């Protein structure tokens, strides 16, 4: 379905997705807003481990792990990491042992956050959990743990935060081709694609894919939920260049290819905002769709604000990538 320029068949890949994720028009919400048409790319709709966008990255990450002969995968994240949950699920599907190095970087201490949501599912999925304080260097711990297991004869693959290595980002380069094919098939062109930007892998992959397809990357807008805008832009630009280098080393990434909006970060990663509360409730009550409070909620809040302020022109079509993370709503029960 994709351009020959976006042929990713040379990369090891372990199938986790079950076909294309649908694109749906938010009819009621679009009518209520009155200015733009809003569509969603339902990357929350895949059956593995509760669903979510990280599955796209994990197809390539697990593929690389298996190709290297790994029997164990270790990854890192916050205590309520969606990536950690889905890594545990993908590892179970692939027959790999999984260890999760989780830090308490979000200042929430209620029982729901500490024991419910993703962390409950991590355990059910068979992962071994290492619970570290906020000050810990999770990746250094993961590498040390990997060395310990290797000394015991195990073969270990260490996966970075969010699965956002260049290999992981290939999952969203592939998604750029999927979106382009769906747009062509439906006759609907999207003026902007809106995503949350955490570790930057989704954003980087989509931009790399767009460039490989010969499309403008500046239609893709990321709302940072983890870092300040300048840092998020720098990290995402670097990952985009690494990813495009894997796809086609002859192509370059313009300095202005990454657009980051920092207006929805609030007090920091995982800390609720009024805009997030409004966005989660509005999408649920108007369309029956659930987005998470850490990523999707803040990014959708940014989309709504920018419709109100006129950033998006009347008549434009906006595609919002729904990343999943539904278990996070249960962890944030007290915030609602």
Instruction: Report how far residue 158's alpha carbon sits from residue 328's, in angstroms, rounded to the nearest whole number.
Output: 24
Question: Which of the residues 30, 53, 81, 165 is marked catalytic?
Answer: 81
Cα–Cα nearest to 21, from 319, 330, 327, 286: 319
- Tell me: the pLDDT tens digits for 161-194? 999 999 999 999 999 999 999 999 999 999 999 9
Does domain 54-163 fall into CATH 3.30.360.10? no
Percentage of the chain modeled with pLDDT above 70: 99
Q: In the structure, what pLDDT confidence band is assigned to residue 2 with cuts at 50, 70 and 90?
A: very low
How far is 165 from 215, CA to CA, in rounded Å? 23
State the chain's mean pLDDT as an integer.
96
What's residue 122's pLDDT? 98
Q: 247-304 pLDDT, tens per residue?
A: 999 999 999 999 999 999 999 999 999 999 999 999 999 999 999 999 999 999 999 9
Q: Tell the CATH topology of 4-52+165-335.
A: Rossmann fold (3.40.50)
pLDDT of residue 334: 95
- pLDDT score at 218: 87
- What does the pLDDT look like over 218-244, one tens digit per residue? 899 999 999 999 999 999 999 999 999
Query: Across residues 150-171, what is the average pLDDT?
Result: 97
Task: Give me the half-sphere count of Cα atoms (radius 13 Å) on the Cβ side of residue 67.
Answer: 12
Residues of the chain with CATH 3.40.50.1100: 4-52+165-335, 54-163
Residue 157 scores a pLDDT above 50: yes
pTM for the model: 0.96
Confidence of residue 1 (pLDDT cuts 50, 70, 90): very low
Identify whether 81 is a catalytic site residue. Answer: yes
What does the block give as tokens for 74?
């270790």
**Which range (33-37, 128-132, 181-185, 191-195) has the least confidence?**
33-37
φ/ψ of 11, rounded to 5, equals -95, 135
């Amino acid at each position: 379905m994709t351009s020959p320029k976006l042929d990713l068949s040379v990369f090891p890949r372990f199938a986790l997705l079950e076909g294309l994720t649908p694109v749906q028009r938010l009819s009621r919400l679009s009518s209520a807003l009155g200015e733009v048409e809003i569509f969603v790319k339902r990357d929350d709709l895949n059956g593995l481990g509760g669903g979510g966008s990280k599955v796209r990255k994990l197809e390539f990450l697990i593929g690389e792990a298996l190709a290297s002969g790994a029997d164990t995968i270790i990854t890192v994240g916050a205590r309520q990491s969606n990536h950690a949950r889905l890594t545990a699920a993908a590892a179970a599907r692939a027959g790999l042992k999984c260890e999760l190095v989780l830090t308490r970087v979000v200042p929430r201490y209620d029982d729901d956050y500490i024991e419910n949501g993703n962390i409950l599912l991590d355990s059910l999925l068979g992962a071994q959990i290492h619970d570290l304080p906020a000050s810990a260097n999770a990746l250094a711990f993961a590498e040390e743990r990997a060395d310990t297991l290797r000394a015991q004869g195990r073969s270990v693959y260490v996966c970075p935060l969010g699965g956002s290595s260049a290999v992981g980002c290939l999952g969203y380069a592939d998604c750029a081709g999927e979106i382009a094919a769906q747009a062509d098939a439906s006759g609907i062109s999207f003026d902007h694609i809106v995503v949350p930007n955490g570790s930057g892998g989704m954003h980087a992959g989509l931009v790399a894919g767009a460039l490989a397809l010969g499309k403008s990357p500046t239609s893709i807008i990321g709302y940072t939920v983890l870092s300040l805008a300048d840092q998020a832009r720098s990290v995402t630009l670097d990952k985009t260049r690494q990813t495009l280098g894997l796809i086609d080393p002859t192509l370059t990434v313009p300095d202005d290819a990454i657009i980051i909006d920092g207006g929805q970060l609030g007090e920091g990663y995982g800390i609720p905002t009024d805009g997030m509360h409004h966005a989660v409730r509005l999408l649920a009550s108007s369309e029956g769709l659930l987005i998470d409070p850490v990523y999707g909620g803040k990014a959708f809040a940014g989309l709504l604000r920018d419709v109100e302020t006129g950033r998006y022109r009347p008549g434009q079509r906006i595609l919002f990538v729904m990343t999943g993370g539904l278990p996070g709503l249960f962890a944030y029960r007290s915030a609602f």
